[in-house]
Amino acid sequence: MFTYDFMQNAFVAALLVALVSGSTGYFLVLRGQSFAGHALGHVGFAGATGAVLLGISPFWGLMAVTTAGGALMGFLGERVHERDVAIGMVLSLALGVGLLFLNFFTGSAVQATSLLFGNVLGVDRATLWQMAGLAVFSSCALGILARPLLFASARPELAEARGIDLRLVSMAYLALVGVAVAEAVQVVGVLLVFSLMVGPAAAAQRLTARFVSGFWISVGLAAAEAVAGVALAYVTDWPASFWISFLSALIYMISLAGRQGKCGLF
């Protein structure tokens, strides 16, 4: 299967998305904001359909809206009791706008619909370069943000007393999650983005209580699930998105069983 260009592109795309999703998603689970990652995928629906309405690439419209939506969620609700309300309000508004755009251009929404459900086997070299650029940007931004983000996540009251602006950190991080979600959509689509953003990170935190170990386990699991999903899609001719989501759920359930049996790795 490695002799085909489209399979080579698919494996590289899967690895790029896994790097971004596994690293960014680890903080998402750590902060108890898994719902935000799921919601941002659906928020991107408005961006994709709006881009079709304007005659531009649905991917860039999706990324613009998920990034802006993430920043807005962070601005509206940093405190735990505010988060779900803020996320729900942004999600419902974005879905409503997306449905309106889709109503205007029903016949032209095929491209947006394809993007929302993912099509890793259709990724070309030009798209790979875009994804690589976004992966480098996301990794650098997360590296800069990691220390204050970890402090704000573990000890928010102390971080605020030390002068860290919790709202600003939340806005910057969720905007970065928006970029990660937009990239992950290329592989698994909006409806299954949760599987790569949250599944590996949740399993990693079940396997170890250490931050550094958990972070790299999350990235490793995301990469393994993405690559195995693409390979299984080639062998079975079933959608790669299905296999990735199935493997994510399977590994998470195994991590649950290991935790209950007190078989944590670290």
pLDDT tens readout for residues 68-83:
888 888 887 655 445 6
pLDDT at 265: 47
So where are the chain's domains? 5-190
Q: What is the mean pLDDT of residues 181-199?
A: 81
What percentage of the chain exceeds 90 in pLDDT? Answer: 33
The Cα 221–Cα 199 span in angstroms is 9
Torsions phi, psi for 4 (to 5 deg):
-95, 135
Q: What is the mean pLDDT of residues 106-127?
A: 69
Query: What percent of the chain has a predicted confidence (pLDDT) above 70?
Result: 87
- pLDDT mean over 121-127: 84
Cα distance between residue 123 and residue 119, in whole Å: 7
- Which of the listed ranges 85-89, 116-120, 164-168, 183-187 does the model predict with the highest average pLDDT? 164-168
> CATH top-level class for 5-190?
mainly alpha
Confidence band, pLDDT 50/70/90 cuts, at residue 263: very low
pLDDT at 122: 79
Instruction: Map tokens 């779900």 to a residue.
Output: 84
Query: b vs e for 172-184, b when ≥16 Cβ sit within 10 Å of the residue's Cβ?
Result: bbbbbbbbbbbbb
pLDDT for position 260 = 54
Per residue in 12-31, pLDDT (tens digit) is 999 999 999 999 999 989 88
Helices 5-30 and 199-207: angle between axes, nearest 10 degrees? 60
Q: For 209, phi and psi rounded to 5 degrees?
A: -100, 0
Distance from C-alpha of 225 to C-alpha of 236, rounded to nearest angstrom: 16
> Average pLDDT, stretch 218-242?
92
Given a cut of 50, whether residue 264 has pLDDT beyond it is: no
Q: Which of 89-93, 101-105, 216-220, 235-239 has the lowest mean pLDDT?
A: 101-105
In angstroms, the CA 223 to CA 217 distance is: 10
| CA 118-123-125 angle, 5° bins | 155
* pTM for this predicted structure: 0.84
Q: Is the pLDDT of residue 232 over 90?
A: yes
When the pLDDT of each residue in the chain is averaged and rounded to a whole number, the result is 83
Picking from 194-203, 217-226, 255-264, which range would have the lowest pLDDT averaged per residue?
255-264
pLDDT for the residue numbered 192 = 74
pLDDT in tens, 53-109: 787 887 888 889 889 888 888 887 655 445 667 677 777 787 777 777 777 765 554
Mean pLDDT, residues 196-217: 91
CB burial readout 36-72, b (16+ within 10 A) else e: bbbbbbbbbbbbbbbbbbeeebbbebbbbbbbbbbbb
